[in-house]
Chains A and B, each alone.
Chain A
Amino acid sequence: MMKFCTKSLLLLNFSLAFLCACGEVTTTEPNYYKCSDNSKISGFAAEFGNYKVGKTIPYKHSDGYLFSLAVIDRDNYIDEVCYKHLNTILESAYPIYSVSLSTETTTFYYNEQDKLNQTITVEFGQYVFSLKNPETLKNTHDSSYIEKLEINGVTYTDVAVVDGRKYEQPRKSEYQTKTVESDAKLYYQTKKGILKIEMEDGSYIAINEEDD
């Protein structure tokens, strides 16, 4: 009898354990724990500049050079902690410029406001800029919002300007991310992207659509 009881208890335990295990398997994981299967970012960062690989944008240097920045790379991906990334690289042969734009967002947007609050990090040489959505700046009456700005004969609306920083020098490693103040400024617009970059040596590059 004693043997039977022990066996019955063991069987009951196994059954309970089995049922518990099945329960865990069937628990539905909330959406915010899952990675999206779509790596594409939407909103301000995706629309910024309408940059597509192969596109070239004409610019003029303050010292008189006419040149184009070409979009040479644009990459969407999801990292191991479920963040979506969008990286874009623009390059010109001469002056030897490279502009890197990067943005990251959580996998899911919880509401439309998240799309407005995206920021884009722009690296240009050793300068770094953090770009906020001009629409957000307009809504919050931020002084960096400019209603109209004329550049090389073309008027751009809904423009924003941001102060730059620069990497502390000498920068002996890519992991050295400490920045210091700089007089550099970047003017931008969601539709056309980067409009003008003023550098601390007094030179600048500006979009040059006048002859288009």
Chain B
Amino acid sequence: MKKVLFLAVAALLCACGDDESSSLPKDVQMLLDSKNGFSEDSVIYLADTVNFVDKINQYVDFGAEDQPKMDYAAKALASAIDVRLYVDQQLNDGSIVVLCNPALNTKIIFDDPDLPVTKNDYKLSFKDSLKVGDSTYYDIVVFNANEDNNVCNISAFYYGIHDGLVRVVSKNGVTLNRVPAKVYEDAVDRRAKEKAIADSIAQAVADSIAQAVADSIIKANTIDSTDDDGNPIEIPQEVVDLAESVAECIKKAYSSGSLSAIKDCKI
């Protein structure tokens, strides 16, 4: 009889334990279970529809097998896109926490998050899928901030639970979407080509101006290039030196990007 009673109590305790582990809100549990297929430390790219593209480092920590957690962060290289979304299991039996501004570090805590959920001026909701360019991302948690009292430096972000950040919307409504690495690489190539062309044009302009100024200095300082018999007159060395130094000064001014410095070339 005692044995039966002991087993019954043990079974009850086990059952209670099971209940406790599954007591997390289903959307919190979904985030904790999203480990499969997620590439943990990776580089992604976000771009607008014009020219702007930025490189984002993202990482996620799903904890250990016996102590699962979910802590996602994305930090852009140049821009201030800096988003963190994590599950705090100790807080109110499971809360989703969002940080969205590196300058303020303010936490937005969604207690008991059964999506959609609203906290003050912020909302978390769920979308089955989101089409971005040619790609479709599934299971998206959408964060929206109200225009007023927004502590974030963005107005919305879309987090694919298998893929990380897939869309960010700026405070003035510009959308940045997930793009392949090639978009970033093409932008880097384009800028390098534009710079090379601009540099070569500046160099050519500098060379031609420098040559023209040097020629005019020599001409102004030499009354005639031939003597009465038609023999060439040697140009005084100081005139040649002056022309060369002015030409060099003009080239330097161009290459440093300071056109106004040409005024100092003692033309």
Choose from A63, A171, A174, A202 the contact partner of B57 (Cβ within 8 Å).
Answer: A171
CB distance from A116 to the nearest CB of B (A): 26
A201 touches B170 (CB 8 A): no
B59 touches A172 (CB 8 A): yes
Residues of A within 8 A of B75 (CB): 125-126, 169-171
A166 at interface by CB-CB < 8 Å? yes
B52 touches A65 (CB 8 A): yes
B41 at interface by CB-CB < 8 Å? yes
A91 at interface by CB-CB < 8 Å? yes
Contact with B along A144-174 (1 / 0, CB 8 A): 0010111100010000000000100111101
Contacting B at CB under 8 A, from A83-107, are 89, 91, 93-98, 100
A125 touches B174 (CB 8 A): no
CB distance from B85 to the nearest CB of A (A): 14
Residues of A within 8 A of B257 (CB): 149-151
Residues of A within 8 A of B51 (CB): 63-65
A126 touches B76 (CB 8 A): yes
| B-binding residues in A (CB < 8 A) | 61-65, 72-73, 89, 91, 93-98, 100, 124-127, 146, 148-151, 155, 166, 169-172, 174, 199-203
Report the nearest A residue to B155, measured CB to CB: A93
Residues of B within 8 A of A200 (CB): 77
Choose from A65, A127, A150, A170 the contact partner of B78 (Cβ within 8 Å).
Answer: A127
Residues of A within 8 A of B110 (CB): none
A150-B41 contact in complex given A95-B79, A96-B154, C-beta closer than 8 Å:
no
A91 touches B73 (CB 8 A): no
B103 touches A170 (CB 8 A): no
Bound form: Cα–Cα A154–B52 in Å: 25
B153 at interface by CB-CB < 8 Å? yes
CB distance from B75 to the nearest CB of A (A): 6
A-B Cβ contacts below 8 A, count: 111
Bound form: Cα–Cα A62–B172 in Å: 20
Residues of B within 8 A of A199 (CB): 77-78
Choose from A96, A146, A166 the contact partner of B77 (Cβ within 8 Å).
Answer: A166
Residues of B within 8 A of A97 (CB): 78-80
For chain B, the bracket of interface size reads: 35 or more
Contact with A along B69-102 (1 / 0, CB 8 A): 0000101111111000000000000000000011
A96 touches B80 (CB 8 A): yes
A93 touches B170 (CB 8 A): yes
Residues of A within 8 A of B102 (CB): 98
A-B pairs, 3 with minimum CB distance = A202-B191, A98-B80, A63-B51
A63 touches B80 (CB 8 A): no
Task: Classify the interface of chain A: helix, strand, loop or mixed.
Answer: loop
CB distance from A108 to the nearest CB of B (A): 30
Residues of B within 8 A of A93 (CB): 170-172
* 29 A-B pairs whose Cβ atoms sit less than 8 Å apart in the complex: A63-B187, A64-B50, A65-B50, A73-B103, A91-B80, A94-B172, A96-B76, A96-B153, A96-B170, A96-B171, A97-B79, A98-B80, A98-B153, A100-B103, A125-B54, A126-B57, A126-B75, A127-B78, A146-B256, A149-B256, A150-B257, A169-B75, A170-B41, A170-B57, A170-B58, A170-B75, A171-B75, A172-B73, A201-B77
Contacting A at CB under 8 A, from B136-189, are 153-154, 168, 170-172, 174, 176, 184, 187-188
CB distance from A165 to the nearest CB of B (A): 12
Choose from B50, B79, B153, B260 the contact partner of A150 (Cβ within 8 Å).
Answer: B260
Contact with A along B239-267 (1 / 0, CB 8 A): 00000000000000000111111000000
CB distance from A169 to the nearest CB of B (A): 4
CB distance from B200 to the nearest CB of A (A): 16
Bound form: Cα–Cα A169–B44 in Å: 13
A91-B153 contact in complex given A63-B50, A149-B256, A171-B57, C-beta closer than 8 Å:
yes
B80 touches A125 (CB 8 A): yes
CB distance from B49 to the nearest CB of A (A): 12
Bound form: Cα–Cα A203–B261 in Å: 25
Bound form: Cα–Cα A94–B55 in Å: 16
Residues of B within 8 A of A171 (CB): 57, 75
